Structure 1
């Protein structure tokens, strides 16, 4: 199975989601929307060119984000992660539950964190 990303989001882990919401909406004039499925709420919005930006409040350290997260639009996240591991890719976080679906994290050859996200209504395996 050859995975070819069609969509991606930039994801930020922040220390104060309300402060982030105020800054991006009021100071920068973006239209971030509150989303449910994580505690506390999370934020998402799109720039005019269609690039989605997402913000979650969680523990982290500087350098953990932003992260580029590829959408698995057709499903099969388990297969994709297995294929990446078979090719020697370092899997940082195996397929795990995420708001609205499933996610996994891995490293590129230089150690940059990348991720996958798949909606919960898609099959985890296509094999």
Structure 2
């Protein structure tokens, strides 16, 4: 009889990706864009949709855990009428401080850009 057929079997370890926090946040933010389809984002990055939803849930829980009651201190009214929200910069001076339970704080003094302030608050989870 002829020679026996040779079968070669190669075994390799299953590779698990280690995603950095920054990569996870970037991918999750992609899923939150208007018109984004989670399946498409997942396919683009080689992640399952279940994993993406898990990351979203974890990030929401983390963001919400850092919030504490906020006390609003009114500023004296400006001499001029307040500009509309459409204006780029509020010309009055003042200060804003957000103190997290961890002790970390965010402080803004001087002219406050309303649009930037809204974006910061949105990123903190106050959408």
- Scaled to the shorter chain, the TM-score interval is under 0.3
More strand by share: 1
- Larger-gyration structure (1/2): 2
Q: With CA pairs under 8 Å and 6+ residues apart, which has the higher RCO, 1 or 2?
A: 1
Compute the TM-score of the two structures, normalised by the length of structure 1: 0.18
More helix by share: 2
